[in-house]
Structure 1
Amino acid sequence: MSIATDPKTFRRVLGHYPTGVCVITAMQADGKPVGLTAGTFTSVSLDPPLVAFFPDRSSTSWPKIREAGHFCVNVLAEHQEPVCRAFASKAEDKFAGIPYRLSGKGRPILEDIVAWIDCDLYAVHEAGDHFIVLGEVHALDVEQPHKPLLFFQGGFGQFSPLLPAAG
């Protein structure tokens, strides 16, 4: 194995790129909410409006979200590391003690987040030990003026802009 493909080196080097932390949620056919933590999320296209996240093949929550055919991206706030950890766990009820409401399309939106993006499943592609999941955005909004939760060099932190964003 070359050094470029050594998993420890790969993680160490790519850990120098900060990522936002999201919780992907959906409502199953039986009315039970399901969710997972995603540290890999991005916008993809404006026309049509598409976003993507990258669940691990070993995820037990991803197949339930895929079966639902829709999902809501919840951008976590700086103080929501416990929420991140809850949805990254193998707990049977990841929503225990975590307040949420439903979007107009009936998808779970977690409380006290930065923003949410409500999507229908657009496409899924295999990509090594993960999937690339594309969602077509149908509704989205900014919830709170919080700073986002970030993951960087193996730890959690926050971002403070040098100048206020125009908006």
Structure 2
Amino acid sequence: MAELIPTVDGGVVDATGLRQVFGRFPSGVTAACALDETGTPVGMAASSFVAVSLEPPLVGLCVQHTSTTWPRLRERPRIGLSVLGEGQGLACRQLASKQGDRFAGLELTPTDDGALLVGGASAWLDCSVSDVVTAGDHDIVLLRVHRQCTHPVHGPLVFHESDFHGLARLGAAS
């Protein structure tokens, strides 16, 4: 039986089809969190995280213009970026929720500068906003990394086709 070769539809890009294409790309999931001026946690989940530069140390996030959380985070002196760990899918959905207490039951570690880090994460970054670039219906946020920490016992959480997954551990090379 001959394999079918997919074709690219011509001329029209629609939001539903584009969302399906984006969903085919697995991504890690991060939580961007800080303490506000009153010491109250504020944060959100973001799957559009990218490593940008080693010198200077920069990472990036894409944030929708409709976010009501980003304006509260943007002005904070430090933002904690937690690379969520496998098994934290429910925590991610909670942090992305528009209702309820986003932080209920989560283990949180504040830094002296007000960044907020989520326990159980695969890695932590303590960042400050370096630059924001408008791009369509999102802002591309460049964050300067001031400190980092990895937690090798926690594998990363992966978001793919609207669901969360862990990664299979690779065995030692023979």
TM-score by length of 1: 0.91
Given candidates 118, 137, 147, the residue that maps to 1:139 is 147
Structure of greater Rg: 2
In angstroms, what is the RMSD of aligned CA positions? Answer: 1.8
Runs ≥4 in structure 1, deviation > 3 angstroms?
161-165
Aligned to 1:128: 136
1:111 to 113, 119, 123: 119
Q: Which runs of 5+ in 1 are unaligned?
A: none
Deviation at 1:161, TM superposition (A): 4.5
TM-superposed CA distance for 1:91, in Å, is: 2.7
Question: CA offset at residue 70 of structure 1?
Answer: 2.6
Deviation at 1:105, TM superposition (A): 2.6
Q: Which residue of 2 aligns with 1:80?
A: 88
**3-state SS in 2 of match to 1:121:** strand
Displacement after TM superposition at 1:26 (Å):
1.3
Aligned residues: 164
Whether the 8 Å CA contact 2:79–2:114 is kept in 1: the answer is no
State the match for 1:29 in structure 2: 37
Q: Structure 2 stretches of 5 or more lacking a match?
A: 1-9
1:71 aligns with 2:79: yes
Matched, 1:14 2:22: yes
- State the TM-score, normalizing by the size of structure 2: 0.87
Give the match for residue 57 of structure 1: 65
Give the fraction of aligned pairs with identical amino acids, expressed as a percent: 38
Alignment partners' CA distance in 2, 1:94 and 1:164: 39
Distance of 1:108 and 1:78 partners within structure 2: 19
User: Which secondary structure state, in structure 2, belongs to the residue aligned with residue 68 of structure 1?
Assistant: coil
Q: How much does 1:9 deviate?
A: 1.2
